[in-house]
Structures are given as C-alpha cells and as structure tokens.
Amino acid sequence: MNFDPSDPALSAELPHDISEALAWSAAERGPFGSPLFYATEVTSTNDVAARLAEAGAAEGTTIVAETQTEGRGRHGRVWCSPAGAGLYVSTIIRPDRQTVPGSGSALLTLMAGVALADAIREATGLVVDIKWPNDLVSEGRKLAGILAEGAGHGTSLEHVVLGFGINLRAASYPPDVAARATSLETELGRPVDRGALLARALVNLSRVRTASSERRTSELINRWRELAPSAVGSVVEWPSSVGVRRGVTAGVDDEGALLVDVSGTTERITAGEIVWL
C-alpha cells in the first residue's frame, strides 16, 4: 500500500477508548479495523478510505475521524459532523466477484444497516430501527446514516467504501437537521462508550461480510426486515418521469429494492429520492 505515513489524515494517535476496544475485539473483528487510522479532522472519511483503496489498501482498512469538514450522505447531502459529537467511520470492502461498479452498493448498505442497528443495541441497549435505505432511527428521529460508494474499471467492481456516521451526543445542528435528528446520549440519558460501539460495529460488519461471502444473504435480508418496520405499510412519495408517485411500502426484495404498492401494482425502487409521509 503506497501512502505517506506522515499524512495528518493518517497519523493521529489512537484515543485510549478506541485502542482499548480494538484490543479486546481483535479476535472477532476479522479484517475490519486492521489497520485502523484515526484523524482529528478530514474532509470526509470516505474520501480518505477511497484514496487508500486506490493505493491498494486491503479489505477492512478503516478510517475514524473526530470531525469531517465535508461529510456527505446520499444524493450529495451534507452530513453534519461536529467535533466530538459523533462516530465518523469508513471502511474498505473488496468484492468477491466481478460486477458492474456500484451494483453491489445497495445490498451492502442494507447489510451495514443490520450490522450497525445490532451494534447499537448490543453496545448501548437502545432499540433502533432501520429506515430504507440507509438511515437508523429512534422514535422516528435520525440517529445514523450509511453511505456506500463503489469504484472500479469497466465492468469490474474493485472496491466499495462503506461509510457511516452515528450521532453520539447532542450538538448544534442547522435548524432543518436539528428538527429531525437525535443522538444516542439524548435517547439514553447517559454517556456512551464510543470505543465499545465502534468495536461492536466492526465485529458485526465482519459477521455480515462473512455471511455475504458464504452466500447467506437471505438471512441478512430477513434480519433487515425485522429491524425495518416502516418498510411495510408506510405511505411514501417519489419523483418519476410522469410526476410524483405515491404508494404504500410492501417490504424489500432479496436484492434490497424497496417494494411499493401503487393501486394494486407493485413498484420496485432501487434508488432515488423517497419522501416518507
């Protein structure tokens, strides 16, 4: 792997809580978090991870940042990343088979949702739900988001950078974000062990990755369905070539597409903007 070890995005010393958690979780994490780089500030952890992936970094190479100056979510939205208020992480996944770049990102996003929702439950006791395709929510308020970005050459998917942000504690957000966001400490009313949460997330990513490699994706999809009650029976709208469409969610298929009933006809949504009503 070719990178400059003096790069400030890669050379910050690991905080004690993170190094301690990595030590006790080493036997369960597989490749995830080995190595792990910690940064005080980056534009985006996905940007750094993508650069490392292009330089040949192995699957599981992970970046954690104290803050992001240009954190992003789906459709180019800004992901607010106040210093010390969240867990901002990206890790590299290298596919088992050759596919069109980006085609595996949707399923990876759902798999990551399962890993993170279970990690939050295991590390903190807070019950959270998944909201298709990439959000974790508590009582309808956004707690975490996931962004999978694939890259490759021609029809070969070389790697996927899987990024996620989890709101740990209350922070000053723009009004439009504050109205729909929450944090773990707000919901729990007590401090959260950041290192333990990170370790559980990496352990669970290793678990779902193994299941995927062993072609056990059906069990992951079924677990996703258990964790995503809004995927059935919710009214949604989305733009289309014929105007705004409206329907009622009817679950997800085995490839992670959202199914929506529109006047008795099932529509299959794989991307785009969904408004939950």
Average confidence score pLDDT of the chain: 86
Provide CB contacts within 8 A for 227, sequence distance 6+: 113, 114, 117, 118, 129, 130
**What pTM value is reported for the model?**
0.89
- Closest listed residue to residue 116, CA positions, set 16, 215, 225, 201: 201
Supply 14's token pair.
């690991």
Supply the pLDDT for residue 247. 95
pLDDT in tens, 111-151: 999 999 999 999 999 999 999 988 999 988 999 999 988 88
Q: What are phi and psi of 264, to 5 degrees?
A: 90, -5
pLDDT in tens, 184-230: 999 999 999 999 999 999 999 999 998 887 778 888 999 999 999 99
Let me know: does 119 contact 231? Beta carbons within 8 Å: no
**What are the C-alpha distances in Å from 234 to residues 44, 73, 275?**
33, 23, 10
**15 preceded by a cis bond (ω within 30 of 0):** no
pLDDT at residue 166 above 90? Answer: yes
Q: Give the DSSP letter of residue 118.
A: H
Supply the pLDDT for residue 200. 97
**133 preceded by a cis bond (ω within 30 of 0):** yes
Supply the pLDDT for residue 101. 38
Domains of the chain, each with CATH number or no CATH = 16-227 (3.30.930.10), 230-276 (2.30.30.100)
Supply the pLDDT for residue 243. 87
d(CA 114, CA 209): 11
